[in-house]
Amino acid sequence: MLFLRRLLASIFVFLVLLTVWQCAKRGSPTGGPRDTTPPELIAAEPENFSLEFDTKRIRLYFDEYIKLEDVQNQLIISPPLKNQPEISPQGQASKYIEIILKDTLLENTTYTLNFGQSIVDNNEGNPNSFLTYVFSTGSYIDSLMVEGEVRDAFNRKADQFISVMLYELDTAYTDSTIYKHPPYYLTNTLDSATTFQLQNLKAGKYLIRAIGDEGKNNLFDPKTDKIGFLQDTLELPTDTSYVLTLFKEIPAYSAVIPSLASANKIIFGFSGSPDKVKISSLSAIPDTVRTLVTREPEKDSLNYWFTPFERDSLVFEVLQEELDIRDTFTVKTRSLEPDSLVITASHRGSINFEDSYTLSVNTPIMAIDTARFAMMDQDSLAIPLEMELDSLNNRVNIGFTKEANARYLINLFPGAITDFFGATHDTLNLRLTTGSYADYGNLRLNLAGEVKYPLIVQLTNEQGMTSREIYATEPRVFEFNTIEPASYLIRLIFDTNQNGKWDTGDYLKKLQPEQVLYYGKVLEVRANWELEETFTVQY
């Protein structure tokens, strides 16, 4: 009897465990294919491509629950409406989208609503890419099209969300229209795409523009927006594919209210270039006070330096001589610490064989004494130095022959550098080392095709920062030696105005930026490798 009870108990426990295991097995997820199907438009009220459109409400129905993402930026309406439509639902899933129009629509006009990638399914976020709803307030749908590509004038890749605009070339159009009025037709490159299509257009003559519309107002603001334009008129119908090159203009000149930065320095900031700017004090300054105006390196500002004297405020006139623009500013003085001389070396520790060695100073350099500079190697042998004072950039350039696997000590004795205030420095000991030539790679570049000179060949990283550059006025082989092992791009700048740098464009002057080309592949430079490439130039 006891044996039978134990047997029945064991059977009962086994059956319970088996039941639990079966339930767990049935409840375990089995995976399965991920849903990659985007939501599909199954109906619209009024129907897509409706004629004689005369309602304010549009509803779009889908085959599954959808949600809207970034619809404010993604939705493009052509021609643009003065008032943004009301779109719902926002922030929740639904099987339809409702659009309430707030504008009075133009007669006999084809309208296009392009939703970009704002409509995604609720579960996996699969977008219904570039869903378009089209209607006409007239008796037919316009059917012409313009397509092309957007590029950046300087960078390898164009920005995202570039607006491409068509303006009707009629009596109302002027060069200032893009600053004041939205275009007649509008599309957007969206995300990482660089191509564009403007569809459902009517026949006529147009001007085409591309704008990086930071303000999202369908207008060109040169302070913030990039622009690309074609000077020639575009006439529809056409089968031409257009290329628009975007650039950022140099802002129009304007002076910014100056500020007292220290007891002996006032900073004058500018929008645009401070070239041809003259700063004059309208306040009486004692003859014993010395003043100096310098440009802040790599910034659009000027520094007004002065030796100490007592004054509650100073009045200045800022004159842009070329434009004959005058501004008057009052700067109130207050108790601040004066700038003291600080020397910063371009390199600490290791230096490349091709690098320049410089000493930058935060106060204006007035003199250098080459006899107070000394350099020796690890064997205590004196190394000859070539010294140059670069007043424009307020630095001292130091040239010397670099040997492999060497250690150097540079001594600056008091008086080596003297600044505007007569200050100098204590003895400075600066140390440098070089590596082996085997630590670096070398690149030899040939240019083929119909190459236009002069040009600048730049070696950059993948973010576009320049590592090396060579200027050429005639054909040659470009050798970049002792390069740090890394990934590089090659950029060509065609220096049309021969000023040694890249120049941007100007919309009102109808001036295109100087042309820039990139080599078609990323170069992998390795240590102790020789690399030779041929760049066939195609414009």
Residue with tokens 């375990």: 28
* Residue 481 CB-half CA count within 13 A: 7
The pTM of this model reads 0.82
190: left (phi over 0), alpha (psi -120 to 50) or beta: left
- Please give the backbone phi and psi of residue 74, each rounded to the nearest 5 degrees, phi first: -80, -35
The single residue listed with the structure tokens 């001594």 is 411
d(CA 272, CA 268): 12
Tokens of 147: 């397509």
- Measured in degrees and rounded to the nearest 5, phi and psi for residue 71 equal -65, -25
What DSSP string describes 402-448? PPTT-EEEEEE-TTSEEETTS-----EEEEEE---GGGSEEEEEEEE
Q: Give the three-state DSSP class for 189.
A: coil
The residue among 157, 150, 194, 148 whose CA lies nearest residue 491 is 157
Task: Say if residue 493 is exposed, middle or buried (CB neighbours under 10 Å; 0-12, 13-18, 19+).
Answer: buried
Q: Which amino acid is at 197?
A: Q
Both 90 and 190 in one domain: the answer is yes
Provide the residue type at 258 as one letter. Answer: P
CATH code, 419: 2.60.40.1220
**Separation of alpha carbons 385 and 387, rounded Å:** 6
Order the strands of the 386-390 sheet from edge to edge. 343-345, 357-361, 395-399, 386-390
CB 489 within 8 A of CB 469: no
224 within some domain: no
Residue 9 lies in a domain: no
- pLDDT (0 to 100) of residue 7: 47
- Domain coverage including residue 324: 254-332
Per-residue pLDDT tens digits for 131-154: 899 999 999 999 999 999 999 999
Q: Indicate if 403 and 303 belong to the same structural domain.
A: no
CA distances from 134 to 82, 208, 380, 453, 498 (A): 18, 22, 82, 50, 50
Q: How many residues does the chain have?
A: 539
315 and 374 housed in the same domain = no
CATH of the domain at 296: 2.60.40
Tell whether 220 is covered by a domain.
no
Which tokens sit at 47?
Answer: 């129907």
Burial class (CB in 10 A: 0-12, 13-18, 19+), 241: exposed
Q: 508 with 459, same domain?
A: yes
Q: Are residues 198 and 310 in the same domain?
A: no
State how far the Cα of 473 lies from the Cα of 445, in Å rounded to an integer: 16
Closest C-alpha to 255, from 332, 331, 334, 317: 317
Residue at a domain's end among 419, 435, 451: 435
- Is 108 a member of any domain? yes
pLDDT digits (tens, 9 = 90+) for 401-418: 999 999 999 999 999 999
Whether the bond between 454 and the residue before it is cis, its omega within 30 degrees of 0, is yes
Residue 539 has what pLDDT? 87
- What local confidence, expressed as pLDDT, does residue 32 receive? 57
* E strand or H helix that includes residue 180: helix 177-180
Residue 241 lies in a domain: no
The closest of 132, 112, 124 to 60, measured between CA atoms, is 132
pLDDT of residue 31: 54
Same domain, 519 and 388: no
- Decide if 25 is inside a domain: no
- How high is the pLDDT of residue 350? 96
**Same domain, residue pair 68 and 137:** yes
**Where among 276, 298, 332 does a domain terminate?**
332
Euclidean distance between CA atoms 299 and 287, whole angstroms: 31
Cis peptide before 46 (omega within 30 of 0): yes
- Boundary-marking domain end, from 411, 435, 459: 435
pLDDT per residue rounded down to tens, the chain (539 residues) = 444 455 445 555 455 454 544 444 444 444 556 777 889 999 999 999 999 999 999 999 999 999 999 888 778 898 989 898 999 988 889 999 999 999 999 999 999 998 887 899 888 888 887 789 999 999 999 999 999 999 999 999 999 889 999 999 987 889 899 999 888 898 888 666 789 999 999 999 999 999 999 988 889 999 999 999 999 999 999 999 999 999 999 999 999 999 999 999 999 999 988 889 999 999 999 999 999 999 998 888 999 999 999 889 999 999 999 999 999 999 999 999 999 999 999 999 999 999 999 999 999 999 999 999 999 999 999 999 999 999 999 999 999 999 999 999 999 999 999 999 999 999 999 999 999 999 999 999 999 999 999 999 999 999 999 999 999 999 999 999 999 999 999 999 999 999 999 999 999 999 999 999 999 999 999 999 999 999 999 98
19 within domain boundaries: no
Q: Could you tell me if 49 and 176 lie in one domain?
A: yes
H or E element in which residue 142 lies: none
pLDDT of residue 317: 97
Same domain, yes or no: 290 and 355 = no
The CA dihedral of 29, 32, 38, 41, to the nearest 10 degrees, is -80
Dist. CA 208–CA 205, nearest whole Å: 10
Residue 234 contacts residue 146 (beta carbons within 8 Å): yes
The phi, psi pair for 5, rounded to 5°, reads: -60, -45
Q: To which H or E segment does residue 203 belong? A: none
Same domain, 297 and 414: no
77's tokens: 């309406």
The one-character DSSP state at 283 is S
Q: Are 154 and 146 in contact (CB under 8 A)?
A: no
Contact yes or no for 138/107 (Cβ under 8 A): yes
Q: Based on the structure, what is the number of domains in the chain? A: 4
Give a yes or no: residue 242 inside a domain: no
Report the CATH number that the domain containing residue 449 is assigned in CATH: 2.60.40.10
Cis peptide before 79 (omega within 30 of 0): yes
DSSP letter, residue 19: H
Rounded-to-10 torsion of CA 214, 217, 223, 224: 0
> β-strands 301-306, 291-295: how paired?
antiparallel
DSSP 175: T
